[in-house]
Amino acid sequence: MSCWFIACLAAGLAAEARGAAPPAAGDTGERVIDLAGKQVVLPGGAWIVAGHGFDQVPGFDDVAYGAIENVVLFRVVDSRVAAFVLAQRNVIATERGWGFAPECHRADLLDSVVYDGADGHSFCGFVAQVATTVDAGSAAAWRSAAGFAAGRGLAMPATWLMAGYRRNNLTDTLDVRYYFDPALAGNPAVAANRDLSRARIYGASTKSLVERAMFWRDKPDREPPASPAVRAEADAVNDLRAWLGHMRYAIEVGFENRADELPAVPMPWTPADQAFHPELSVRLAGLEQLQAAKVLPPQEYARQRAIAEELSAPAAGHRWTAEQLTVVKAMTDQVSGAVSYFGSDLLYTGSIQNASQVWALDQFLDAIRYTSLEYAWQRLGPRRLTTDQPVTLREAGRVR
């Protein structure tokens, strides 16, 4: 009996212990579906389970801890798959944390943003163009879903626009990716186009590399098109990027198994999405309960409501990763000590030229010492976390 079979058997027993039957092809669901004890939020109306399976994380030495359960759900419109969801979740909790999705730090994608990069947990989102392919490296659920579509005569587009998320803590990971037919954007030029890459829509990646270097600055909500000829495609991608920000909170509460608090989540490129702010809806619902129970007087309710609207209205911005925070801490440490170090060197040498040379060498060596110490605690300390390593899960299609 193989180790992989044992891991899958353990996954099935774990599902039975939770009292939740694994998703089966043909099952339908709306709003929320449970996957290995985590909630996956479904936008729009009815979805149908098209595939379910288990995979091993590539590169994981431990078979059991690398077991991933995944599920694919279709949104079918007129015998065509208009959208689908691929959700993946670890079966057994780990103890050293989960690494980030490689897509979170790719400058060549249509968008990538880190919502939370603190030590021990992370949360990011990304938008990309994906080609419809099925091969041996695809997620098990996607391979099953492709067979499901063929068996029912369901057509699929050659290209998708995908909005994805990876949410981790020290023990668990949840990867959810929403794939949409570009025709849903409502523009024939977008639907017919097979090249929806960043290079074509927004131009060369030089700007993205600069933005990546200046990581403390938030990205613009809507990037301008590279030329008037691709304005329709840029508008469609910008709308999906806005939906990515709106949907962020829904993913987070689903990870915490609180998705029942959410209102219905709209599909992208719809009028309902423009006014969709789930975080604000949840906060206001809580305030209204407190007001109804006469816990909050009218003036305090108005004040708290204004605070909630101010915090929830803008899309979540970029947050620093642990590596970026280490760099900033090292820089500020050097700046704060630079004046005193130079003064001491000048007092000792009695020469501005000699003091400058000694000071420069001292700053360089101290920066190396500080950074090395930070990483030593991260990699060799008591927790020995692996959250700063990329972890690639199997995909549906191929990111272009």
Q: 269: how many CB neighbours lie within 10 A of its CB?
A: 22
Element of type H or E holding 324:
helix 322-349
Q: What is the pTM of this model?
A: 0.79
pLDDT digits (tens, 9 = 90+) for 132-183: 999 988 999 999 999 999 999 999 999 999 999 999 988 899 999 999 999 9
Q: What's residue 376's pLDDT?
A: 73
User: Residue 95 has what pLDDT?
Assistant: 73
Q: Is 165 left (phi over 0), alpha (psi -120 to 50) or beta?
A: beta
Percent of the chain with pLDDT over 90: 39
Q: What is the pLDDT of residue 261?
A: 84
For position 287, what pLDDT does the model report? 83
Please state at what angle helix 231-255 crosses helix 278-292, rounded to 10 degrees.
40
User: Which residues of the chain fall short of a pLDDT of 70?
Assistant: 1-20, 60-65, 118-120, 205-220, 311-327, 329-330, 333-334, 374, 377-388
Residues pairing with 372 in the sheet: none
Select from 223, 233, 228, 152 the least CA-distant residue to 187: 233
pLDDT value of residue 291 = 84
CA dist 68 and 35 (Å) reads 11
User: Distance from CA of residue 292 to its chain's centroid?
Assistant: 36
Is-contact 162 130, C-beta < 8 A?
yes
- Which DSSP letter does residue 258 get? -
What are the distances in angstroms from CA 96 to CA 176, 322, 354, 373?
22, 15, 47, 20
